[in-house]
Amino acid sequence: MMWFTHIAFGVLAGVVAISFFNVQQQFLFVVLTGFAAILADVDHEGSKINQFFPVTRWASHVFKHRGVFHSIFPVAGLYVAFSSIGLNEIALAVAIGYSSHLFSDSLTKMGVNLLNPISTLHMSGFIEVGGLMEYIVFGVVVGVTGLVLF
Ligand SMILES: [Zn+2]
């Protein structure tokens, strides 16, 4: 998926999450889920996250696209890292936003392997990245977010 679709999914996941979890900083939480939703693409050289932060670009030279960065392991790692220093709300937001990226990429034809590199749990869908269907999904996600909010 493209970066704006990822952010849309991340924001929707954040908006839904604040109705399930007792979140203190709700606006910040949703900003973070939206931001965390583009983190996984550090493994793609031209991604938005690597345009914002060129320092993360090394990851795209070392790791293959949709490899380990598109698995559940960075989700678990980031969650443990933030919660171990008491940043529980940030840990939750990052885990939810990052997971939303994995979910939305799993809807694409290329799919993701959620257990990369230790095993295979490949999930894929029918959406072509950058195709008409992605724009429709983007529109639906933005629309649903609006409905959840109001
Ligand atoms: Zn991705």
For 32-52, give one letter per residue: b (16+ CB within 10 A) or e: bbbbbbbbbbbbbeebebbee
- Cα 125 to ligand 1 centre (Å): 14
Q: Which of 100, 112, 139, 83 is nearest to 17 (CA)?
A: 100
Question: Per residue in 6-29, pLDDT tens?
Answer: 999 999 999 999 999 999 999 999
Question: Per residue in 103-149, pLDDT tens?
Answer: 999 999 999 999 999 999 999 999 999 999 999 999 999 999 999 99
- Cα 45 to ligand 1 centre (Å): 11
pTM over 0.75: yes
- Cα 1 to ligand 1 centre (Å): 6
Q: Which of 39, 41, 38, 34 is nearest to 8 (CA)?
A: 34
